[in-house]
Structure 1
Amino acid sequence: GALFYSNRQRRKANDQLLSNNLLIEKQNNEIKDQQTALAAAKAELEDKLSQLESLSTEKSMLINIVAHDLRNPLNSILGLCELMEMEENQLNAAQKQYLSLVRDSSDRMLKMISNLLNVRKIESNGIEVTLTEVAPLAIFEAVHRDFRQWLKDKNITLDIQGVSPQILVWADKELLFQVLENLVSNAVKYSPKGSMVEIFTALEGDNVRISVRDQGAGISAEDQSKLFQKFQRLSTQPTGGEQSIGLGLSLVKHLTERMGGSVQCESKLGQGSTFSVLIPAVT
């Protein structure tokens, strides 16, 4: 009886061992299948990534080619406009108006192209930053000159009296020019005719706050949440029929941060907007 019981236990143990071995073999096969599936998925993912990188490179090349091919004729058009403006006394009122439209449209398109190229540079880490002492007032005076006809056409006053001539910031001069030009352009674009855009500076600790305030329609809370994202268009429309591709404020944010600064917006619907950049001060 004891021998029979021992044999029965042994058979039961063998059956259990066989069952366990079969289960382990099944699990091993499942693991192998999963590994094969993972390897296939990884290969497919790497292939897709390679395709995306190739497309991204091609897109960047296409943007650069198109932008540069557009920029050259636009520069030629602007040069011809300047030559014609030198002969202003020989033009009648209608010709002066047409010339102004051509110049302004070409100038704005040129700025849009520059913004597009700069965004591509940021995405490829191709923006070089050289920090020097920069006077914000000199930049705003240059922006005022560049926008004089646009301001005249919309009867908008650009008040830069609040910009202290003594204040200097640590910034890349070219990048800061693009930042402040975009902020003023945005303010003028969304300001009603006959209004005022005010610019002022103030020392705040180790930084200088440079603010651009408009009397436009203001920005909703929903729009403010996506304000500095690329290719975002606001529900508020430009007041003079101007075009926007939604890159200016995204560029402002990226360039300001590359210079060690930050950007802020204060706005309420019906009460205008104030955009500010904080840039390290020269002390």
Structure 2
Amino acid sequence: MGQGDHGADDTPETEDILSQVRYLSLASHDLRGALANIRSYAAMLLGGRIPLDPKAKRGLETILRNADRALSFAQDFFDTSRAQLGSLAFERERQALEPLLAAAVERHRAAAQAAEVAVILDGHAPLPLVELDAGRIQHAVESFIQHHLLRAQPGERILVHAIPEGDQVRVEVRREGLPLSEEDMALVFSHQERAFREKKLEDALRIHLARLEVEVHGGNVGVETDATGTTLFFTLPSVLSEELAPPASAQP
């Protein structure tokens, strides 16, 4: 398993970082444990063994959705905090990208259909194997899909596409429709500015974590627009050296 390298010496700074990481782990365990219990009981009551009137059922479904959302947000928050300490856990394995892209699309197909938006895994040329942490990179792809879903209008399409480019692979998530303004485009990955501007943190934090997850693999992220849409993209080296990428750090 790879993590940010704090150095071999047990310096006071290193001990302080390790102490903060342990503190975050305890906080994550306590918060996520409580949320998981709420989710578990709501799911149990919705399991069909207990008769529920429509109002009670809708209420429990709302609890379940919000518990899932809170669990996801908590995970993103604590992962981002660890990344900013150079301690984002990741485990690389040489594997194909295609299954990760397909899984990311499938996970958001129902939400897209409810919004009358099509999420499509676009055809692409054969891709090289990449050394990556599957969970981290799938999260990055899903974060880009979710970002577009929040802005998509009925009838629009979100296309997930990957392109081999020399010694790297470029993964694109494109929304066909009204493009982002220049101001919005400049702020996509600026999580603090977006959070203060939008009065909410969820999507801004998720996109910021996606950036850190890509960068810890030695890749880069970006955003492009044209007259017909907006493309979020990231690149990954198709061949990595034995040396780990530099630890993820705080980004503006």
TM-score, L = length of structure 1: 0.64
Query: Shift of residue 141 of structure 1?
Result: 3.2
Aligned to 1:213: 174
Is the CA contact (8 Å cut-off) linking 2:127 and 2:163 kept in structure 1?
A: no
Aligned to 1:277: 234
Output the CA distance in 2 between the equivalents of 1:83 and 1:140: 31
1:263 is aligned to 2:187:
no
TM alignment of 1:139-178, pairs within 5 A: 139-162=100-123, 167-178=128-139
TM alignment of 1:93-104, pairs within 5 A: 98=59, 100-104=61-65
- The number of aligned residues is 226
Is the CA contact (8 Å cut-off) linking 1:163 and 1:199 kept in structure 2?
A: no
- Unmatched segments (≥5 aa) in structure 1: 1-53
1:124 is aligned to 2:82:
no
- Secondary structure of the residue aligned to 2:64 is helix
Aligned to 1:191: 152
Going from structure 1 to structure 2, the CA distance change for 1:247 and 1:102 (only over 3 Å counts) comes to same
Query: Shift of residue 72 of structure 1?
Result: 1.8
If asked which structure has higher relative contact order (CA below 8 Å, sep 6+), I would say 2
Q: Is 184-193 or 211-220 further displaced after alignment?
A: 211-220
Output the CA distance in 2 between the equivalents of 1:256 and 1:176: 7
1:278 alignment partner AA: T
Output the CA distance in 1 between the equivalents of 2:197 and 2:161: 24
Ranges of 4+ aligned residues in structure 1 off by more than 6 Å: 56-63, 90-96, 234-237
Is the CA contact (8 Å cut-off) linking 2:137 and 2:214 kept in structure 1?
A: yes
Is the CA contact (8 Å cut-off) linking 1:232 and 1:247 kept in structure 2?
A: no
Aligned to 1:253: 211
When you count helix as a share of all residues, which structure comes out higher?
1
- Secondary structure of the residue aligned to 2:112 is helix
Is the CA contact (8 Å cut-off) linking 1:233 and 1:245 kept in structure 2?
A: no
- Secondary structure of the residue aligned to 1:228 is coil
Output the CA distance in 2 between the equivalents of 1:59 and 1:258: 20
Is the CA contact (8 Å cut-off) linking 1:129 and 1:259 kept in structure 2?
A: no
1:225 is aligned to 2:179:
no
Output the CA distance in 1 between the equivalents of 2:40 and 2:57: 16
Identical positions, percent:
21
Query: Shift of residue 64 of structure 1?
Result: 5.5
Query: Shift of residue 207 of structure 1?
Result: 0.9
Q: Which structure has the bigger radius of gyration?
A: 1
Is the CA contact (8 Å cut-off) linking 1:264 and 1:275 kept in structure 2?
A: yes
CA RMSD of aligned residues (A): 3.8
Going from structure 1 to structure 2, the CA distance change for 1:72 and 1:152 (only over 3 Å counts) comes to farther
Output the CA distance in 1 between the equivalents of 2:102 and 2:42: 22
- Secondary structure of the residue aligned to 2:204 is coil
Aligned to 2:97: 136
Going from structure 1 to structure 2, the CA distance change for 1:163 and 1:243 (only over 3 Å counts) comes to farther
